[in-house]
Amino acid sequence: MKREKETVDDANRGELGAMAASILMKLLYCARMCRFDLLRAICRLASCVHAWTYDCDRRLYKLICYVDSTSHLHLMSWVGDNVLDLSPHIYADADFAGCWETQRSTSGCHNAVEGPYTNFVTYGRSNTQACLSTSTPEAETVACYSAIKDVVIPGLDIWEVLLPGGFIYFFHEDNQAMIRVCETGRNPTMRTLPRNHR
């Protein structure tokens, strides 16, 4: 059965729909450089551009107000170590069913070069998962896989050039159940994980 394209009736159509994409992309450009805290809100609104409503107008207004009231915040990194003391670190996290409409989770990823006196951010991302997870450890596993596939593996070649003395890539995770599954290799409560997420 062919799925109908989502449409919005004229009574509920938002006033900012025509210029929403332009506004959001300008915000996204800045957010990708120095305001990772805005990524989730911008990407969530960007997914509604094709069916813009008055509720989207309200959320965009709140986002602009937040950006205006926090314009003094910016990303700061520092480097104070020898190259031999540095190593790449990646942090991955996910919320469970964060989107109230689709019940899909959101993956977050943060990559940085760290040392005793160094913390230099190289990458940050927030995106909605393409699949529907049935538990928090499952959503965390999908976020972990996404971070390794899209950030760690493509970045190995450049880290070998930038850190010629050798390095260990540190992966940080906060969900104990997911960590235990990775340590033991057993996940009886997520038997369908390989079939759903490959």
Strands 106-115 and 170-172: unpaired
Cα→Cα distances 19→14, 16, 39, 52, 59, Å: 11, 6, 19, 10, 14
Q: What is the pLDDT of residue 3?
A: 44
Strand partners, 90: 111, 171
Tokens of 198: 């490959």
CB–CB of 135/94 below 8 Å? no
Task: State residue 2's pLDDT score.
Answer: 44
Tell me the whole-structure pTM to 2 decimals: 0.75
Taking only the tens of pLDDT, the chain with its 198 residues reads 444 445 556 667 778 888 888 999 999 888 888 888 888 889 888 888 888 888 889 999 999 999 999 988 888 889 999 888 899 999 998 888 766 677 788 888 899 999 999 999 888 888 888 778 778 888 888 888 889 999 999 989 989 998 887 889 999 988 888 888 778 877 766 666 666 566
Q: What pLDDT shows up at residue 91?
A: 93
Give the Cα separation of 59 and 56 in Å (integer). Answer: 5
